[in-house]
């Protein structure tokens, strides 16, 4: 299920841009700053330096398990 995978990039402040967290449903091989950070907050010459500061992590989860756990908690 495409809703059960995502790439999360945490980008700290850079120059005059504040820090930001980006989430996007992409494949594990595309889990990097260039594929996830949209719109890119910095101009072309700063993209590489900006992306090197970002930490991107591929995450998988089971929404069915989460829903069942919540139902059990509420019961």
Average pLDDT over residues 27-39: 96
Average confidence (pLDDT) over 44-50:
96
Specify which residues 10 forms β-bridges with: 21, 55
Looking at residue 26, what is its pLDDT? 92
Confidence of residue 66 (pLDDT cuts 50, 70, 90): low
Q: Does the pLDDT of residue 27 top 70, yes or no? A: yes
Model confidence, pTM? 0.75
- Encode 42-58: b = buried (16+ Cβ within 10 Å), e = exposed: beeeeeeebbeebebee
Confidence band for 3, pLDDT divided at 50, 70 and 90: low
């Amino acid at each position: 299920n495409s809703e059960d995978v995502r790439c999360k990039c945490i980008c700290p402040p850079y120059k005059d841009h504040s820090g930001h967290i980006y989430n996007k449903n992409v494949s594990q091989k595309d889990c990097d700053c260039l594929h996830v950070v949209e719109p890119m907050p910095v101009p072309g010459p700063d993209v590489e330096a900006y992306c090197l500061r970002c930490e991107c992590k591929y995450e998988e989860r089971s929404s069915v398990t989460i829903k069942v756990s919540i139902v059990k908690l509420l019961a």
